[in-house]
Structure 1
Amino acid sequence: MTLAFQYLRSLIYVIQIYAAMLLLGIVFAPYALLSKNGARQACKTYARWALWSARWMVGIRTEVRGTVPIGEVIVAAKHQSFLDILVIFNALPQAKFIMKRELMWTPIIGVYAKRLGCIPVNRGRRGAAIARMVQDVAKEFTEPGQLVIYPQGTRVAPGAQKSYKVGSGVLYAELQQPCVPVATNVGLLWPRTGILRKPGLGVVEFLDPIPPGQERDLFMAELERRIETRSDALMSELGFEHDGLRQHG
């Protein structure tokens, strides 16, 4: 299969998943506006379609490993591309994401994110943003669910280095809930930017939970160690190797 043909397949795939997002967003809108469960079912339907069509259109298969949490936990995940969002949301029964505030104003995504109880975060003025995030999380957690946060704050390319932000540690201390680290290799197949999608097996792995009660700095060090070590191992399964010195992102 030539690179040009794979690029064409990828382009068609990208166009159709955004078309599907618009179509499903409109079709489910009445149900979603009346019921949070309706919004969740709409997003689950979209995630399953995107994952299923990726398999036969561009050759990306996905696999979930580890024990998927079902209770009230913090899920701290490696974020490499939109694909890991789809896999995590599809796997968790009641996921709520910490997400950039700007996304809450986008058509379709913003409306459904609000209905699901996702928490917007302003990335400016770190201290004020963290305090607001904690307040918003407390308001939304009147219902049980899994709070998904990306400790590095954004998508990070495979092999790139980006520090882990303090927000994960603050939530861990405030909520006194177990934290489930999540590793992935999907950025090797579905990059954070660009059109080309590469065939292969993308894995999202739920690791053993970190129990509540650890000192924050120790928790952050343990979280980073677990996620990065296991993500490197998963990327090695796809043939990605590095010399131990990640590129700075």
Structure 2
Amino acid sequence: MTSIFVRSLIYNVLFYLLLTFWILVAVPTFVLPRRALMRVAKLWGQSSIWLMRVVCNTKVEFRGVEKIPQGPLIVAPKHQSMWETFALLQFFDAPVYILKRELTWIPFFGWLLMKADMIAINRQKRGRILMEMSRRAREEVHRGRQLIIFPEGTRTAVGAPPNYKAGVGQIYADCGAPCLPVALNSGLFWPRRQFMRYPGTLVVEFLDPLPAGLDRRTFIEQVSKLVETASNRLIEAGRKEQAELFGRVPSTNVQTAAPKVADRDLGHR
């Protein structure tokens, strides 16, 4: 495990140096169309994946890429790690994220987020957040963009009970676009709130899209079932691989058994 610690240290240092490099490269895109900035962002994501492969021996496998629809789209990935926030960029022409407004205050990085027309929300407007998110999401999706939204709202530990937010169903209904569920097991290799980066095969699986027009409750039930079932399968395979590599599953905030999706976990309150 000592070598894994050293590799993790090297990767984390190089990751932020690489991020700084791409921010500097992106500065000239302030005076260019948005697609120029998005091209740089995709290169950042791809280079960070490459770096993790070289330094940490973390291979990445993308499955079901052929299922990604063209045009306006809602993308609903499982969210276990920071990793997917940049790794998924490469697959979409005009991706847009919903993020907290405070991120746009970061010099250069935040300015680039604004240049990219990301949806920044003021979390202090508690009663109006969903309304504002839905309005902006609808506008951006109707412009032909791909909204990447994490249905659980925040990163969850591997094996933690799912908690799909009902508000995502409202955004889906308002946007009137198909939804692409995405399963993954990134939390085994880049655990949330942890320093360590682990070797193995990180898998992202694009699932069959859900059509537009489902009622909100049906949508939440279907997207959660699809994402959780596939993610649990990927997590199980990843655990087996890690057990072979280490003789045990590393401590990554992993629960011993992945829970079933219960109706109370679907965001209905």
For structure 1, list consecutive stretches of 5 or more residues without a partner in the other structure: none
Shift of 1:11: 0.9
- Root mean square deviation of aligned Cα: 2.0
TM-score normalized by the length of structure 2: 0.84
Shift of 1:162: 4.1
* Structure 1 range deviating more: 80-89 or 32-41: 32-41
Q: Contact 1:21–1:108 (CA<8 Å) still a contact in 2?
A: no
Shift of 1:126: 4.6
Give the Cα separation in 2 of the matches to 1:187 and 1:32. 34
Q: Contact 2:161–2:258 (CA<8 Å) still a contact in 1?
A: no
Q: Aligned residue for 2:203?
A: 203
Shift of 1:141: 4.0
Shift of 1:139: 3.8
Q: How does 1:91-240 map to 2 (within 5 A)?
A: 91-124=91-124, 126-141=126-141, 143-239=143-239
Shift of 1:105: 2.1
* Structure 1 range deviating more: 223-232 or 89-98: 89-98
What amino acid is aligned across from residue 94 of structure 1 in structure 2? A
Give the Cα separation in 2 of the matches to 1:184 and 1:164. 16
Match of 1:24 among 10, 22, 25: 22
Q: Contact 1:33–1:39 (CA<8 Å) still a contact in 2?
A: no
Shift of 1:161: 1.7
Q: Contact 1:121–1:129 (CA<8 Å) still a contact in 2?
A: yes
Specify whether residues 128 and 242 from structure 1 end up closer, same or farther in structure 2 by C-alpha distance, changes over 3 A only.
same
* Structure 1 range deviating more: 220-229 or 115-124: 115-124
Q: How does 1:46-85 map to 2 (within 5 A)?
A: 46-66=44-64, 67-85=67-85
Q: Contact 1:76–1:168 (CA<8 Å) still a contact in 2?
A: no
The answer to whether the aligner puts 1:44 opposite 2:42 as a matched pair is yes
Shift of 1:125: 5.1
Q: Aligned residue for 1:13?
A: 11
User: C-alpha offsets along residues 16-68 of structure 1, whole Å, 9 cap, x if unaligned?
Assistant: 11111112211220124422122111111111110111101001111111123
For structure 2, list consecutive stretches of 5 or more residues without a partner in the other structure: 241-254
**Percent of residue pairs identical:** 34
User: C-alpha offsets along residues 61-88 of structure 1, whole Å, 9 cap, x if unaligned?
Assistant: 1111112333211011111111112221
Specify whether residues 243 and 195 from structure 1 end up closer, same or farther in structure 2 by C-alpha distance, changes over 3 A only.
closer
Give the Cα separation in 2 of the matches to 1:122 and 1:164. 21
Q: Aligned residue for 2:250?
A: none
Give the Cα separation in 1 of the matches to 2:102 and 2:161. 24
User: C-alpha offsets along residues 125-151 of structure 1, whole Å, 9 cap, x if unaligned?
Assistant: 554101111222244346312111001
Give the Cα separation in 2 of the matches to 1:32 and 1:122. 24
What amino acid is aligned across from residue 103 of structure 1 in structure 2? L
* Structure 1 range deviating more: 75-84 or 132-141: 132-141
Give the Cα separation in 1 of the matches to 2:208 and 2:166. 21
TM-score normalized by the length of structure 1: 0.91
